[in-house]
Amino acid sequence: MKKGNILYHKRFEYTNGEIGKKLLVVLNDPDPAKEPYLLCRVTSQEKGKLRKFGCQEDPSFFFLPAGHDFFDKDTWVQLYEIFEVEADSLLKDHFEGHLEPRGALQEMTIRQLMNCIKKIKDISGKHKKMILGKR
């Protein structure tokens, strides 16, 4: 698993404790023995969001129009909430049939997403270092 991979989780636990199906994007390339994977959710629910390609600093989104990279619908990568997940937890979910790889962002999109993450204020310094730093 690496930065830019798109995962489908059938039993993703939200912050409020609810469980649902969710597409996730891997944001970092960690050394799994030392740090967790960082994941963020995506949504195709527009609900007043701006439909302008790329970085949207203020609401902390990265917008990908339908047909771009993996997504067949307009999609917003939600960067305001990042989830730390240990490698063993991801493996367990995978082997139990709850988590499966679905695709990957293109290299250019990953670079644009990383440049966006540099600008967003909702992402902690710790997470930025884990996302943008080299192993």
The model's pLDDT over 59-113, given as tens digits with 9 standing for 90+, comes to 999 999 999 999 999 999 999 999 999 999 999 999 999 999 999 999 999 999 9
Q: How far apart are CA 109 and CA 103, in angstroms?
A: 13
Q: How far apart are CA 40 and CA 38, in angstroms?
A: 7
Q: Are strands 19-26 and 37-43 parallel, antiparallel or unpaired?
A: antiparallel
Global pTM? 0.93
Task: Summarize pLDDT for 4-42 with one digit per residue, the tens.
Answer: 999 999 998 887 888 999 999 999 999 999 999 999 999
CATH 2.30.30 for the 5-132 domain, yes or no: yes
Q: How far apart are CA 53 and CA 111, in angstroms?
A: 14
